[in-house]
Copies of this chain bind each other. A is one copy, B any other.
Amino acid sequence: MTHPAYAALSATFTRLYRLGHLSAIAGWDQATMMPPKGNAARGAALAELQVLMHQTLTDPKLRSALDAAQTEALDAFEQASLREMRRAWDAANSLPESLVEAQSLATSKAEHAWRTQRPANDWAGFLENWGPVVALARQEAQLLSQARGISPYDALMDKYEPGMRSADIERLFAEIKTWLPGLIRAVRERQANEPARVPQGPFPVERQRALGLAVMQRLGFDFEGGRLDVSTHPFCGGVPEDVRVTTRYTEDDFTRSLMGIIHETGHARYEQNLPRAWVHLPVGQARSMGIHESQSLAFEMQLGRHPGFLAHLAPLLREHLGAQPALEPENLARLYTRVEPGLIRVDADELTYPAHIILRFEIERALIDGEIEAADVPALWDEKMRAYLDLDTRGNFRDGCMQDIHWPLGAFGYFPSYTLGALYAAQWFAAMRRETPELDRQIAAGELQTVFDWLHTHIWSQASLWPTETLVRRATDEALNPAHFRAHLEQRYLHA
């Protein structure tokens, strides 16, 4: 071996990848299969593994190996690989083991209790567990902030979206705020004259599941390397070799579950198509959560709500759910492009979704930076929901600040990734249309290979080879540009 330090690092990160596999599968099981009395032992086992992985990442030998590898004659790939290893090392070495363990235990407890507290609208009960989660996240943010010389909130956001700062996010969100409210008003006026029929259920769970599987198949999900199951909060988990997608069903409405499955299938295809030869190294893993969301939103928003795609999907819906006027192509397109402010982020339409993110970003940044306390969140939530979407959420914690799994899990700094993902996704499709002017006709004909090939070439196969900004420039010849998102929305909602 000509690069012994790099080789030693590769061996260590391969070990970490394998331990991470167990964490991912046990985590999936916890959300989908585990009976309630298993939770304490599961939490303890996962925390033990976290500690172990943290010990591996903080072993002084690893620092020496990183330094030694820096002096080896590495090729471009190995240099990128080393950069991502150092990023993982930095993240772990900025935090003491006691904090990592305390966070694992506190979030596991809060998330598990949240599952019953949310339906019970039990804010007081939730706050009891969530207070410690917030306090620990602030400690983490402080430590990372000192290590990186960036603000506490930025330090958390950097875990999900490397290189992105809240100043960037503020600039993007400020720009969006200048035109989105007007666009929403214009679209709602237009749609007032175009009522959509509501599909009449019940839609039995087994039929919805069969439909979901058929749609996943059409979207290229590899069932030899993954599954579809049920969890309270849908997610895409597991490992690249075995991707676990989840959804939830209600018998009176299939539309949300179906679009949720399409969303998670976007995440899943990214994972399933990461370069298998180096997926065990940080450089072979997904670039960032914003890029990850750009895949799920490419599937859900760009593709899934595309009138041509929906027309092509209509016969599949009739086959699984029976024929009814509401399942005709034109009505499907109206349903899935209906713009209507609502309480629930994951059910939001493409236009009002950014408001949900901006609200969460503003609240969690203030919370982490110490401007507000956990107990202040509901009032702030009510105020911003009134201001941004003109909705009353007072007393409704369940459909308010308790609705997302992110906060009980302590995943502060994640939310901006969703809107970044929507912006990226619009930019990907703008690039695709430049390269393939007949793209929309292809989609309407059910030919999705151009889309998949473009994403495979520019995103999936690139994993973490490049910093995010470079990845975006290589794929689209420009930096992140919110004009594509605006153009996409205006085209679909005003001019189509």
Q: Which positions in A face B, CB cutoff 8 Å?
A: 15, 18-19, 21-23, 25-26, 29, 33-38, 40-42, 44-49, 52, 222-227, 238-239, 241-242
Contacts and interface: CB of A to CB of B under 8 A. Distances in A.
Contacts of A26: 21-22, 25-26
Given A25-B25, A42-B242, A19 B48 contact: yes
Of listed A47, A223, A224, A241, residue having the most chain B CB within 10 A: A241
Contact of A19 (B35, B45, B238): B45
A37 B227 contact: no
B37 A222 contact: yes
Of listed A34, A227, A239, residue having the most chain B CB within 10 A: A34
Contact of A21 (B21, B45, B226): B45
Q: Which 4 A-B pairs have the closest CB atoms?
A: A38-B242, A37-B225, A21-B45, A18-B48
Contact of A242 (B34, B47, B226, B239): B34
Contacts of A29: 25, 29
Contacts of A37: 222, 224-225, 241-242
Nearest to A244: B33
Copies of this chain assembled into the complex: 2
Contacts of A38: 225, 238-239, 241-242
29 contacts: A15-B48, A18-B44, A18-B47, A18-B48, A18-B49, A19-B45, A19-B49, A19-B52, A21-B41, A22-B49, A25-B25, A25-B29, A25-B42, A26-B26, A29-B29, A33-B33, A35-B223, A35-B225, A35-B227, A35-B242, A36-B224, A37-B222, A38-B225, A38-B241, A38-B242, A40-B241, A41-B239, A42-B242, A52-B52
A39 B264 CA distance: 22
A46 to B, nearest CB: 8
A243 to B, nearest CB: 9
A125 B362 CA distance: 62
A242 B40 CA distance: 10
A433 B440 CA distance: 78
Contact of A241 (B41, B52, B242): B41
Nearest to A34: B242
A38 B34 CA distance: 20
A14 to B, nearest CB: 9
A93 to B, nearest CB: 21
Contacts of A52: 19, 52
A25 B49 CA distance: 14
Contacts of A241: 37-38, 40-42
Nearest to A279: B41
A361 to B, nearest CB: 35
A157 to B, nearest CB: 30
A227 B18 contact: no
Nearest to A272: B37
A365 to B, nearest CB: 35
